[in-house]
Amino acid sequence: MASTQPFSLSPASLQRRRWLRLAAGGGAAALGVAALVGPTGWAQQLGDFIEGPPVRDIPARQLSPHVWMVFAQDGFPTPQNQGMMANVLFVVTSAGVVVIDSGGSLQIGQMAIRMIRKVTPLPVIAVFNSHYHGDHWLGNHAFAAHYGPQLPIYALTGTREKIQGAEGNLWRSLMERWTNQATLGTQVVAPNQTVHNGQVLNFGDVSLVMHHYGTCHTPSDLCVQVVQDRLTAVGDIAMANRIANLDDGSYEGTFKYYQALRTSAGAQLWVPGHGEGSTDLLQTYGEFMAGIWEPCLKAVQAGAPESTAKAAVLADRRVARRATTMQGFDGNIGKYVSLAYLEAEKLAF
């Protein structure tokens, strides 16, 4: 599995490295053009014309009467998988196809369209973006290009604003970097419609209920419930076999979100953006998260240092039993203990 290191690169360090690489490669001449390099410089203009290669077909699998999934095998982006690291779901309704998360590039979105067309001749009539991490929405470009710029793309307000802002373009360039430019040509197409918790949207014979209960994996995680199928797409609030990025998230918020979602939606097939869906996904991932959170909270309350908290987390059976098989565990567990410890400190003082 690929190194998860790129996920810890800050925007500033990324820009600096790119600048340094270009400057070092071209010597004095490059220094003259270095000022042009960046989101508005020639590097991006070049990217607008050069497209990375197509992504190999991944036939869609039916999960329920209306819902299909284009499954992402890997949890992290590499040049080999070309950024195919998040599931693309689609709902075939009598009125057309509704896509939930559009993939991590133009090329992945194009592949998803090919897979949809193998299942149904109906057009895509709406796209939902679960949150602002680029592996879930950079494929919007393909859908807007194919079905027209009027295609409704729905998200929570926070997600829409982040994608419209610097975060959108940052994700575009990060994905290019992680895939060694395989996603070149992808443009940021932000959501153009806003949804909120409790909203019901009807598409033909299918009703979709919107869920959002505060900060979880990010401050704006949308879960989409496909009412007739008792299936809910949960984005990244829970993962089957991958440790979640929690840089903008909250442990406490995660437990609260799960409780509110369960109360509102009832028993569901919970389908994550990474890995397989299951009816006990919130239960199993929630136990793992509690195995990180509770020892950290205890350590903070006892005045013990972070190293003590980390040892307790690694010894916790809820964490230990997942450690050897979970994608990204070794590279990320230290960071997520730190985040839990920090959040516990804030809570305690």
Residue from 129, 136, 47, 46 nearest 83 by CA:
136
316 forms part of the interface with Zn ion (CB under 5 A):
no
* Contact status: 274 vs Zn ion (CB under 5 A): no
Q: How far is the CB of 49 from Zn ion (least distance, A)?
A: 30
CB of 208 to Zn ion, least distance (A): 20
* Nearest distance from C-beta of residue 206 to Zn ion, angstroms: 25
Residue span binding Zn ion (CB under 5 A) among the ranges 48-56, 128-136, 175-183, 199-207: 128-136
Q: Which range of residues in 2-10, 35-43, 126-134, 165-173 is near Zn ion by CB under 5 A?
A: 126-134
User: CA 208: distance to chain centroid?
Assistant: 20
CB nearer to Zn ion: pick between 133 and 141: 133
Of residues 176 and 236, the one with the C-beta less far from Zn ion: 236
The reply to whether 236 sits near Zn ion by the rule CB under 5 A is yes
Rounded to the nearest whole angstrom, what is the least distance from the CB of residue 199 to Zn ion in the complex? 22
Residue 294 CB: number of other CB atoms within 10 A? Answer: 17
Stretch in the footprint of Zn ion (CB under 5 A) among 92-100, 131-139, 192-200, 226-234: 131-139
Closer residue to Zn ion, CB minimum distance, 88 or 299: 88
| Count of residues that bind Zn ion according to CB under 5 A | 2
Q: Which stretch binds Zn ion (CB under 5 A): 3-11, 24-32, 228-236, 332-340?
A: 228-236
Closer of 175 and 309 to Zn ion (Cβ): 175
Site for Zn ion in 141-180 (CB under 5 A): none
The least distance separating Zn ion from the CB of residue 254, rounded to whole angstroms, comes to 13
**115 Cβ contact list (under 8 Å, min separation 6):** 57, 58, 59, 60, 70
At residue 44, what is the residue type?
Q
Stretch that binds Zn ion, among 17-25, 108-116, 125-133, 143-151 (CB under 5 A): 125-133
Q: Which of these ranges, 25-33, 100-108, 231-239, 323-331, lies near Zn ion under the rule CB under 5 A?
A: 231-239
- CB within 8 Å of 161: residues ≥ 6 apart: none
Q: Quick one: residue 28, left, alpha or beta (phi over 0 = left, psi -120 to 50 = alpha)?
A: alpha
Q: Closest separation between CB of residue 136 and Zn ion, Å?
A: 6
Angle (CA) 278-283-286 rounded to 5° is: 120
CA 43 and chain centroid, separation: 26
Beta-strand (E) ranges in the chain?
Answer: 61-62, 67-70, 88-93, 96-100, 124-128, 153-156, 193-195, 200-203, 206-211, 223-226, 231-235, 269-272
- Verify binding: residue 133, Zn ion, rule CB under 5 A: yes
Q: Which residues of 99-138 are buried (b: 16+ CB within 10 A; e: fewer)?
A: bbbbbbbbbbbbbbbbbbeeeeeeebbbbbbbbbbbbbbb
Minimum CB distance to Zn ion smaller for 133 or for 322: 133
The binding site for Zn ion (CB under 5 A) comprises 133, 236
